[in-house]
């Protein structure tokens, strides 16, 4: 009986330790990704045609060259630079094939956290067509994001990397890769 209690205690302690370890690891990874994407705020395209040295680095992380839309390539590049294994894709919908924690209008959503990936749905395209990072999921109706290939007004065909204040109602899905 005493031996069983000791075994159960050990299992309990390991479970608690693993939970704390997992959260610390997530926080550490989120901090690395955060530092990576915030260091890119202010990067701009060279001529406004999905080009420029840094933009072309983002695209190259997905095997693409200048001229391609790059919001999802920016996300890929940031994760790669941070040492986080994720999907490698410049196709926005592919960021939501798994690991979805939030869907607009769903009841069982988790609260998005820093360094999670958000997607915006465009009805005219019938798909998610813009992605970026959740920087802060504030209480109320707004969140802060950092995203590439956008601009001051929040376009999906922008000219650089910006920190944005977006309505949560604009966010269609969020995935967590950490």
Q: Report pLDDT for 13.
A: 39
CA 133, CA 36: separation in Å to the nearest integer? 11
Coil, helix or strand at residue 112: coil
Q: Report pLDDT for 11.
A: 41
CA 60, CA 58: separation in Å to the nearest integer? 6
Nearest to 150 by CA among 76, 45, 66: 45
- Rounded (5°) CA angle 122-155-171: 50
End-to-end CA distance of the chain: 40
Residue in this structure with the two tokens 């610390």, named with its chain if needed: 24
Beta partners for 68? none
Q: What is the pLDDT along the chain (178 residues), one digit of tens a residue?
A: 555 444 434 443 344 344 444 567 989 999 999 999 999 999 999 999 999 999 999 999 999 999 999 999 999 999 999 999 999 999 999 999 999 999 999 999 999 999 999 999 999 999 999 999 999 998 999 999 999 999 988 888 899 999 999 999 999 999 999 9
Q: Report pLDDT for 15.
A: 42
Q: Report pLDDT for 155.
A: 83
Coil, helix or strand at residue 1: coil
Name the pairing type of β-strands 117-122 and 127-136: antiparallel
Distances (CA, A) of 165 to 70, 78, 87: 20, 20, 26
* Residue 148 CB neighbour total at 10 angstroms: 29
> For residue 33, what is the DSSP state?
H
The CATH number of 2-42+71-175, from 3.30.450, 3.10.20, 1.10.20, 3.90.1720, is 3.90.1720
CA 64, CA 85: separation in Å to the nearest integer? 19
What backbone phi and psi angles, to 5 degrees, belong to 70? Answer: -135, 15
């Amino acid at each position: 009986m005493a031996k069983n209690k000791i075994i159960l205690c050990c299992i309990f302690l390991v479970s608690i330790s693993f939970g704390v370890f997992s959260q610390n690891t997530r926080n550490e990874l989120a901090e690395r990704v955060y530092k990576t994407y915030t260091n890119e705020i202010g990067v701009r395209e060279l001529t406004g045609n999905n080009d420029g040295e840094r933009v072309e680095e983002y695209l190259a992380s997905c095997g693409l060259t200048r001229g391609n839309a790059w919001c999802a390539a920016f996300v890929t590049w940031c994760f790669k630079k941070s040492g986080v294994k994720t999907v490698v894709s410049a196709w926005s919908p592919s960021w939501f094939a798994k690991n979805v924690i939030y869907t607009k209008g769903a009841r069982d959503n988790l609260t998005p956290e820093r360094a999670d990936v958000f997607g915006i749905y465009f009805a005219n395209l019938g798909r998610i067509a813009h992605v970026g990072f959740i920087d802060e999921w504030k209480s109320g109706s707004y969140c802060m994001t950092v995203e590439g290939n956008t601009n001051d007004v929040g376009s999906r065909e922008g000219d650089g990397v910006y920190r944005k204040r977006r309505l949560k109602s604009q966010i269609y899905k969020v995935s967590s890769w950490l």
